[in-house]
C-alpha cells in the first residue's frame, strides 16, 4: 500500500455536474437545475442554439444533455447528484444585510451568474460587471466585505441590481425543459 500523496496533484478532470438554483427564499432546496461542464478550459452550462437549458426536475438532466453540444455529450452520462447550489435568494440576502460571506454563497453565486451570462453571449452593462467583479475580487481575498463596501462607497442596492440584472438576462436567454 502506498500512502504517499502524489505531488504535484493530478490536474482536475473535466466533467459534467448538476447545478441547482434557488430564487425563492421561502423554498427549501433547488427550484431548477442545469448541467455544467466544469474543471476544464471551457466551463459552460448546457445550452442549445445559444440558449441555456434549465429544467425543474433533476431527472430531466438526460434530456438536457441530449440537446447539448457534442463535446458535452462526450463527457458521459448526466450526473444524478447535486454538485452545487447557486442560492440567489441567500446571495441577495447576504449582499443586502450581511457583513461577511463566510460560506462563500455570494461569491459562488457571482461566479455562476458570470458563467451563465457569458454562455448566453450577453453584454452586461459596464457598471453591473464592474461592481460584481470588484466584489468577487474582494470576496476571494477576504469574506468580510461590509467594511470594504463602506470604504469603496458601494451602495448595497447596486449589488442587488447587478445580481438581478444577471438573473433576468439569463432567464430571457434560456429554454425550459
pLDDT by residue (tens digit) across 111-156?
A: 999 999 999 998 889 999 999 999 999 999 999 999 999 999 999 9
Mean pLDDT, residues 84-105: 96
Phi, psi of 78 (to 5 degrees): -65, 140
What pLDDT is stored for residue 126 in this prediction? 92
Element (H, E) at 47: strand 47-48
Residues 35 and 47: their CA atoms lie apart, in Å, by 9
For the chain, how far is it from start to end, CA to CA, in angstroms? 48
Place of cell 457534442: 70
What pLDDT is stored for residue 32 in this prediction? 97
Phi, psi of 155 (to 5 degrees): -80, 130
CB 20 within 8 A of CB 84: yes
pTM value > 0.75:
yes
* Bridge partners for 34 per DSSP: 19
Sheet with 174-176, strands from edge to edge, namely: 47-48, 51-54, 174-176
Amino acid at each position: 500500500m502506498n500512502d504517499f500523496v502524489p505531488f504535484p496533484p493530478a490536474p482536475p478532470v473535466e466533467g459534467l455536474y448538476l447545478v441547482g438554483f434557488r430564487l425563492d427564499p421561502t423554498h427549501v432546496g433547488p427550484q431548477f437545475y442545469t448541467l455544467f461542464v466544469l474543471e476544464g478550459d471551457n466551463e459552460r452550462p448546457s445550452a442549445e442554439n445559444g440558449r441555456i437549458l434549465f429544467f425543474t426536475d433533476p431527472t430531466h438532466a438526460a434530456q438536457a444533455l441530449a440537446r447539448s453540444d457534442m463535446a458535452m455529450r462526450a463527457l458521459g452520462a448526466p450526473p444524478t447528484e447535486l454538485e452545487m447550489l447557486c442560492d440567489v435568494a441567500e446571495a441577495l440576502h447576504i449582499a443586502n444585510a450581511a457583513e461577511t460571506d463566510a460560506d462563500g454563497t455570494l461569491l459562488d453565486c457571482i461566479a455562476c451568474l458570470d458563467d451563465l451570462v457569458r454562455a448566453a453571449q450577453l453584454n452586461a452593462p459596464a457598471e453591473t460587471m464592474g461592481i460584481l467583479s470588484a466584489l468577487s475580487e474582494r470576496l476571494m481575498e477576504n469574506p468580510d466585505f461590509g467594511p470594504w463596501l463602506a470604504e469603496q462607497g458601494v451602495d448595497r442596492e447596486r449589488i442587488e441590481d447587478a445580481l438581478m440584472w444577471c438573473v433576468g438576462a439569463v432567464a430571457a436567454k434560456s429554454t425550459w425543459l
